[in-house]
Amino acid sequence: MNKAALVIGAGDATGGAIARRFAREGYAACVTRRSLDKLQPLVAQIEAEGGRAHPFASDARKEDEVIALVEQIESAVGPIEVMVFNIGANVPESILSETARKYFKVWEMACFAGFLTAREVAKRMVARPVADGGHRGTIIFTGATASMRGAARFAAFSGAKMALRALAQSMARELGPEGIHVAHTVIDGAIDTEFIRSNFPERYALKADAGILDPEHIADAYWMLHAQPRDAWTHELDLRPWSEKF
The CA–CA distances, whole Å, from 70 to 146, 209, 231 equal 29, 41, 29
Torsion-angle region of 135 (φ positive above 0: left; ψ -120 to 50: alpha; else: beta): beta
pLDDT at 14 over 80: yes
pLDDT at 199 over 90: no
Q: What is the pLDDT of residues 122-172, one digit of tens each?
A: 999 999 998 878 999 999 999 999 999 999 999 999 999 999 999 999 999
Biggest CA pair distance of the chain? 53
Note whether residue 244 is domain-resident: no
Confidence of residue 195 (pLDDT cuts 50, 70, 90): confident
Q: How many domains does the chain have?
A: 1
Note whether residue 80 is domain-resident: yes
Note whether residue 245 is domain-resident: no
Note whether residue 246 is domain-resident: no
What CATH number does the domain containing 194 carry?
Answer: 3.40.50.720
* Owning domain of residue 116: 4-239
Q: What is the pLDDT of residue 1?
A: 62
Note whether residue 110 is domain-resident: yes
Q: What is the pLDDT of residues 38-47, one digit of tens each?
A: 999 999 999 9
Q: What is the pLDDT of residues 102-129, one digit of tens each?
A: 999 999 999 999 999 999 999 999 999 9
